[in-house]
Amino acid sequence: MDSPKNKFKARLAAGDTLIGCWAALTAPVAMEITAAAGFDWVLIDGEHAPNDLRTTLAQLQVSAAFPAHSVVRTPHLEPWLIKQYLDIGAQTLLAPMVDTPEQARALVSATRYPPEGIRGVGAAFARASAYGSRTRYIATANDQICILAQAETAVALNNLAEIASVPGIDGVFIGPSDLAASMGYPGQPAHPEVQRAILDGIAIIKASGKAAGILCMDPVLAGTYISAGVQFIAVGSDVSTLAKGLGALASRFKDATVTEPEASVH
């Protein structure tokens, strides 16, 4: 039996626009709710959320029951950790802070079995191969791995065409917040200069023949990015949805509470 087909990768290659959600609560139950909501993909965040290998594994297991494709963001570019993420069944990785084509090539190499790369061969013990029952996993896995490089600094934008052109890079994801800070506008991803850089970056990625991605929780701006050609976009997160929803619920009733008038004294 071959490696499972990566439908997310196939849809990007077909030019589809995929709507996703950031998942940072780390809990399997929260992931079940998010994966069942109807998104095309969900992002299990290992960089800024307190996820480790075990919590990521648990979320991959529960999300497998739903059509939403699970993308895993690695905390860094270390090959040994990338190997572990792949072995627990992640087929699509979002890798942060890819600033140079050399880093992009090393990233791709870490995800491929030899002779195409340096991924260690231990599939018999891995969930990725259904613990050895997918007997052709090693022979077919390379073609089903999807790699999304994050370009989130001014350096990365200067190297964007070269990063996107690296064989094995399926898409480039622009990180607005880190990019804004790198450009000298910390906390201002909506600054006109940052927005100009983002739109220019989307055009460069598209021209390379690769898929452009971004996280944007502003519906109007998200529409602008989709019109500009973004193919995979996260439009919200489990954390912000829960926090805003609970805050609004509390305010609705606390603000509506009317202090009873004091009884008249006769």
- So which residues are the catalytic ones? 48
Alpha-helix residue ranges (DSSP H) falling in the chain: 7-13, 28-35, 53-63, 79-87, 101-110, 137-144, 154-158, 160-164, 176-182, 192-207, 219-228, 238-256
For the chain, give the number of residues: 266
d(CA 34, CA 66): 10
Neighbours of 155 (CB within 10 A): 13
Burial of 42 (0-12, 13-18, 19+ CB in 10 A): buried
Prior bond of 186 cis (ω within 30°): no
Give, as one character, the DSSP assignment of residue 232. Answer: E
Please count the other Cβ atoms lying within 10 Å of the Cβ belonging to residue 157.
Answer: 21
Residue 26, token pair as written in the block: 């780390």
What CA–CA distances, in Å, run from 19 to 10, 113, 254? Answer: 15, 30, 35
Give the whole-angstrom CA distance, residue 164 versus residue 213.
12
Q: How far apart are alpha carbons 129 and 48 in whole angstroms?
A: 28
3-state secondary structure of 115: coil
